[in-house]
Amino acid sequence: MTDSPIFRRHRQTKIVATVGPASSAPDQLRRLMLAGVDVFRLNFSHGTQANHGEVLARIRALEVEFDRPIGVIADLQGPKLRIGTFADGAVTLRTGRVIRFDLDPAPGNEERVCLPHPEVISAMGVGSTLLLDDGKVRVRVIERGADFLLGEIVAGTRLSNNKGFNVPDVTLPLSPLTAKDRADMEYALGQGVEWIALSFVQRPEDVVEARGLIGDRAAIMLKIEKPAAIQHLDELIELADALMVARGDLGVEMPAEDVPSLQKNMIQRARDAGKPVIVATQMLESMIVSPTPTRAEVSDVATAVYDGTDAVMLSAETAAGAYPVEAVAIMDKIVARVERDPMYRSIMDTHHPGLGKTTADAITHSANQAARAVDAKAIVTYTESGSTTLRAARERPPMPILAISIHEETSRRLSLSYGVHTVHVSKGISSFGEMVPEAIRIALAHGIAGMGDELAITAGVPFGRSGSTNTLRIVHLEPEPQ
């Protein structure tokens, strides 16, 4: 058990960690959580379903030990586009040379190689770009036939077997859900994960397809890593439950200098919509092999926090790196330090999302203002679906948001959101009169408030109706009369 009877964070921005060989053991998962992890990511591009099921069971055991809801993201692989093989394992390339991509599975050479994706060939046009091996090789299409492409080498010196490729300037007629993804998704849903992350989403139709399969069994997170997705960003945000700024593939398919401004834009638009947003990929990349990050990496994490993201994410650093716990601990320190900076609070308060037209929006906005005016220690939300708490997080208040829910899955999902300390209660609350003493009890027990402090409490009356927040009360904590 922890030293304290109640386990909570003292920062607003959340940390997501990817689980892999370096972190899947029970003691490592526990150390990661103690170091600062709020949400765990299971990357279905690696490992087996059985492996992920074992890890999930260990995470659920941590929930019991720490009495703290923990969100879990099942990140689906998505379509992986790869070329075939070469007779010698690799070929040397020269700028200006022409190489043929075709459907012939025979090993290739410097003049041709298999591209076993007829749908890609048919979608490409003269002038389109192929990026191979994470963009190290760039090819411009100069001719397209029924079953082949001819491409001129624009950049790159070497290409080896089965390298992946990207098509940045073409929307491919591919579903983001492969047969593997569908099987992995059903497995993850059966195990009870809170989030399904979709890779390589291009169009709103991709999300509609996934929603039809997932229903209300989990929330949908979109990984924005294709230029085509940027063109439909507002529609995608509206359809999704959360966003991940997946800077790895996005940085391959778009000019690197465009990514920082896109990151800021996506964070702001997700916040405006009241949807959680994660900044991911290469945040502390050097810590895969080094016990300390570079100054540039520290600045990168800090920038995401200054941008107002809900969460920052570690990938290979915790999944396969030599210093997974240290990476989390350093990220925790960076986030906490930024949030203590007066400039950070000034930035958060400068951007005000547009006020919605509903009573719930008005009450939540008023709760933020009232809590600041009386220096309340927390904004308390009693929530069925999480919508009330998400509205509160959208305001980016300086104090924690204490989210109380009878629904375990709601509590786990909210663990991703800015400033939210989630508490799952087993007994339902049927009236505002019942909620106030329960909120006080939980705030005291969790060290969020003490006697003499104020709480700003919001709820919907009558109780039990999702999205019906219509009541705000400022409560002064004082001992009950003897």
Closest residue by Cα to residue 33 from 330, 276, 413, 329: 329
CATH superfamily of 14-78+176-341: Phosphoenolpyruvate-binding domains (3.20.20.60)
Q: Do domains 14-78+176-341 and 90-166 have the same CATH topology?
A: no
Q: Which of 11, 41, 163, 247 is catalytic?
A: 41
358 is catalytic: no
Rounded Cα gap, residues 321 and 51, in angstroms: 18
Encoded amino acid at 418, one letter: Y
Alpha-carbon distance of 177 to 218, in angstroms, equals 16
CB count, 10 Å around CB of 293?
23
Tell me which residue of 449, 465, 466, 464 sits closest to 474, measured CA to CA. 449
Residue 435, burial from CB neighbour count under 10 angstroms (0-12, 13-18, 19+):
buried
pLDDT of residue 460: 75
Q: Is residue 275 among the annotated active site residues?
A: no
- Say whether 223 is catalytic: yes
pLDDT at site 50: 97
Domain ranges within the chain, ordered by starting residue: 14-78+176-341, 90-166, 359-476
CATH of 90-166, one of 3.60.21.10, 3.90.220.20, 2.40.33.10, 3.40.50.1980: 2.40.33.10
Marked catalytic residue, from 223, 394, 396, 412 = 223
Told to judge if 281 belongs to the known catalytic residues of this protein, a careful annotator would answer yes
> What does each of the 482 residues of the chain score in pLDDT, given as a tens digit?
344 446 789 999 999 999 999 999 999 999 999 999 999 999 999 999 999 999 999 999 999 999 999 999 999 999 989 999 999 999 999 999 999 999 999 999 999 999 999 999 999 999 999 999 988 999 999 999 999 999 999 999 999 999 999 998 888 888 999 999 999 999 999 999 999 999 999 999 999 999 999 999 999 999 999 888 999 999 999 999 999 999 988 888 888 899 999 999 999 999 999 999 999 999 999 999 999 999 999 999 999 999 999 999 999 999 999 999 999 999 999 999 999 999 999 999 988 777 777 888 888 889 999 999 999 999 999 988 899 899 999 999 999 999 999 999 999 999 999 999 999 998 877 777 888 999 999 999 999 999 999 999 998 776 666 667 788 999 999 876 55
Options 13, 129, 281, 458, the catalytic residue: 281
Backbone angles phi, psi at 25, to 5 degrees: -65, 150
* Separation of CA 201 from chain center: 14
- pLDDT, residue 482, reads 55
CA dist., res. 325 & res. 431, Å (int): 43
CATH superfamily, with its number, for domain 359-476: Pyruvate kinase, C-terminal domain (3.40.1380.20)
Q: How far apart are CA 395 and CA 401, in angstroms?
A: 11
Query: Could you tell me the two tokens for 367?
Result: 């709760």
pLDDT of residue 4: 42
| Under 8 Å between Cβ of 240 and 209 | no
Catalytic residue among 82, 269, 337, 473: 82
Query: What per-residue confidence (pLDDT) applies to 1?
Result: 37
Give the pLDDT confidence score for residue 466 in this predicted structure. 64
How would you classify the pairing of strands 39-43 and 14-19? Answer: parallel
